[in-house]
Structure 1
Amino acid sequence: MNTDRGGSDAGTKESRLQQIAAHGDHFGYDAHMRRRALRIASGVAVIILGFAVGSFFALLPERNTADVEEIVKGLNRLIGLMTHEIVELPEVQKHPETFIIEIIAILVGYTILKHTAEDHDDYRRAFRRIEQFYTPRARRQGWELCAICVILATAVIVAVHVVIAVWGVHWPVSFASGLSRTGLAVGCWLYIYGLVMGVRTNLFLYNFKALRLINIYELGVKESDTRRGTQLAEKKLCDFSASLTSFATIFGVLGALALYFLPTLRTTYFWIPLAATLGVTFVIKWIVVHYAKTKYEPDFD
């Protein structure tokens, strides 16, 4: 008896919260997503900037002191521990300062991204579904901001590489590489920030992804069989989308690391496998989400 009453109270509370959300951002959703956009963009930019700074440090004379070698050994052990000994880097580095900066940047960026993902998962567990409360004008403004960021990012990346192509012929390779990566870091920050700020107004996408965190055995317990079947079908598509992202990220990162650390494959364009993999994945995920919305909730907005 108490259980039924508790479930009824919970359902009433959720219904009341949804009514409130329909008239404003009382879930703190918009602030949460703005903070998430800033953190994701910053996490990725920190990693790329680390490689940029590492390239600039490669201009310095090699200094393989005992202290530096111990730091390198410690970082290698840390990487081995974090990757369960899958990744093992050589302890003798040509430019140990560069190696140290790059690894620290990876760890800092990874930490930012990891905490951001955990925070977003916690938010989605608390608010599994949010009805549309953005006005058409607000949604349009979000995508306008995205377009501005894309234009600025493209302009920065193109401008930096034009400068390198025109005046960088006689520059040291490490300096040109560092400048190129700095431009990429700024461009990626703008791309990611703009994209997340634009996508944040797509509450169907939020609800769709939130299904991943719902226990399949609890899904639609209080719903009709038809509604439960619809939610289960959506969750299967959501799980497929999440798995696709995980595999693509793993393969992209491994490809990028191979092109950066392996001597026979090393290139300044080590980031291309990751960008290409994520680009293809983004297109496939968009198709999956579009199909889910068209089939199951065509009238959501």
Structure 2
Amino acid sequence: MNTDRGGSDAGTKESRLQQIAAHGDHFGYDAHMRRRALRIASGVAVIILGFAVGSFFALLPERNTADVEEIVKGLNRLIGLMTHEIVELPEVQKHPETFIIEIIAILVGYTILKHTAEDHDDYRRAFRRIEQFYTPRARRQGWELCAVCVILATAVIVAVHAVIAVWGMHWPVSFASGLSRTGLAVGCWLYIYGLVMGVRTNLFLYNFKALRLINIYELGVKESDTRRGTQLAEKKLCDFSVSLTSFATIFGVLGALALYFLPTLRTTYFWIPLAATLGVTFVIKWIVVHYAKTKYEPDFD
């Protein structure tokens, strides 16, 4: 009897979620998150692909013309303005075409990511909280898609580097480097797209991150003191998580740029600082979010 009742309760909840989803995705959330997954993956892939194309252009003979030097100087000034003169790159480049392509790719990718972040912030300001409408099946399908993308990404990266390991010794270094980065660009696109598509079904995480955009003095003003205290504590955890992400991203990007552009530090493994800092940050953020859900909204799903 208890088993039948448990099954009936589960069926009722599944049916309720299906009805919500059918009317539902009331705020265009799913379509918004699918666009976000595509744009974030594309923004990162454009940057990596720019470095891949730059490596291929390094196969061209070295040459510096007055026109190219002026373009390099202009890009350097633009980067100085965007970074408040924190980053200043050498104006004399060994392969200026490579430098120009890489900087343009960084700017295009950064613009895509910046606009995507701004759009998501606007969405969260409009819809500060969304109740669960994904069915267990829909959530499972999201993570199954993520798993498929991870497998494909890993296969692409391993296959490309296996080809380089077997035949790459006969190729120019720049060609092998460009091929390696092309494989990484495709792999990263798949990793990021799959991850964001899986995470999109975690509406507690969406609600948790949306707290960042709520004025702390407006938070819970119409709630009881107990509920307001809970929301304030949850917002403090959210602010910590966001600050940690911002610091790690800036630190990782600066480290990667230093290992790529500075002559005394340059290495083909320039991406390691960014990958390492983001990896550690991801683990810490997962712990923070898991703690927040367990403590403040254990029955959300």
- TM-score in terms of structure 2 length: 0.93
Deviation, structure 1 residue 170: 1.2
Deviation at residue 269 of structure 1 after TM alignment: 1.0
Give the stretch that moved more between structures: 5-14 or 84-93.
Answer: 5-14
Structure 1 residue 63 displacement after superposition: 2.1
What is the TM-score with the length of structure 1 in the denominator?
Answer: 0.93
Moved more, 205-214 or 264-273: 264-273
Structure 1 pair 124/6, CA: closer, same or farther in 2 (3 Å)? farther
Q: Taking structure 1 as reference, are residues 210 and 276 closer, same or farther at Cα in structure 2, changes over 3 Å only?
A: same
Residues 1:210 and 1:106: Cα distance change in structure 2 (over 3 Å): same
In 2, the alpha carbon distance for the partners of 1:131 and 1:213 equals 18
3-state SS of paired residue (2:23): coil
> Per-residue displacement from partner, 1:178-207 (whole Å, max 9, x unpaired)?
000000000000000000000000000000
User: Contact 1:22/1:132 (CA < 8 Å) preserved in 2?
Assistant: no
Query: Is the Cα contact below 8 Å between 1:234 and 1:292 reproduced in 2?
Result: yes
**Contact conserved, 1:21 with 1:130, CA < 8 A, in 2?**
no
Show structure 1 runs of 4+ deviating over 2 A: 1-23
Query: Given the superposition, is the C-alpha separation of residues 156 and 2 from structure 1 closer, same or farther in structure 2, using an over 3 Å criterion?
Result: closer
Pairwise CA RMSD of aligned residues?
Answer: 8.0
Q: 1:10 and 1:179 mapped to 2: Cα distance?
A: 50
Contact map agreement 2:42 2:189 (CA 8 A) in 1: yes
Unaligned 5+ segments in structure 1 are none
Give the 3 Å change call, closer, same or farther, for CA 30–261 of structure 1 in structure 2.
Answer: same
Structure 1 pair 181–29 and aligned structure 2 pair: CA distance change class (3 A) = same
Residues 7, 298 of structure 1: CA spacing in aligned structure 2 closer, same or farther, 3 A cutoff? closer
> In the alignment, what sits opposite 1:184?
184
**Distance apart, 1:8 and its partner CA:** 37
Alpha-carbon distance in 1 for matches of 2:21, 2:267: 50
8 Å Cα contact 2:52/2:179 also seen in 1: yes
SS at match of 2:279: helix
Write the distance in 2 (CA, Å) between the matches of 1:3 and 1:181. Answer: 54
CA contact (8 A) 2:18 2:134 kept: no
Deviation at 1:264, TM superposition (A): 1.4
Q: Please state how far the C-alpha of 1:26 moved relative to its aligned partner.
A: 1.7
What is the alpha-carbon distance in structure 1 between the residues aligned to residue 294 and residue 83 of structure 2?
40
Alpha carbons of structure 1 residues 152 and 270: separation in structure 2 relative to 1, 3 Å: same
Q: Distance in 2 between matches of 1:103 and 1:73?
A: 12
1:198-248 CA distance string (max 9 Å, x none): 000000000000000000000000001111010000000000000000000
Give distance in 2, aligned partners of 1:281 and 1:84: 26
Deviation at 1:281, TM superposition (A): 0.1
Contact 1:124–1:213 (8 Å) recurs in 2: yes
- 8 Å CA contact 1:18, 1:130 repeated in 2: no
Q: Write the deviation string for residues 271-295 of structure 1: whole angstroms up to 9, x where unpaired.
A: 0110010000000000000000000
Cα deviations by residue, 1:138-161 (Å, 9 ceiling, x for unpaired): 000000000000000000000000
Deviation larger for 203-212 or 23-32: 23-32
Q: Are the equivalent residues in 2 in contact too, given 1:43–1:112 (CA < 8 A)? A: yes
Pair 1:5–1:110, CA change in 2 (3 A)? farther
In 1, Cα distance between the equivalents of 2:2 and 2:172?
Answer: 74
Whole-angstrom distance in 2 between the partners of 1:274 and 1:239: 22
Q: Distance in 1 between matches of 2:205 and 2:282?
A: 13
Counterparts of 1:189 and 1:82, CA distance in 2: 26
| Gap change, CA 1:198 and 1:14, over 3 Å in 2 | closer
CA distance in 1 between counterparts of 2:238 and 2:125 reads 15
Residue 17 of structure 1, CA deviation: 15
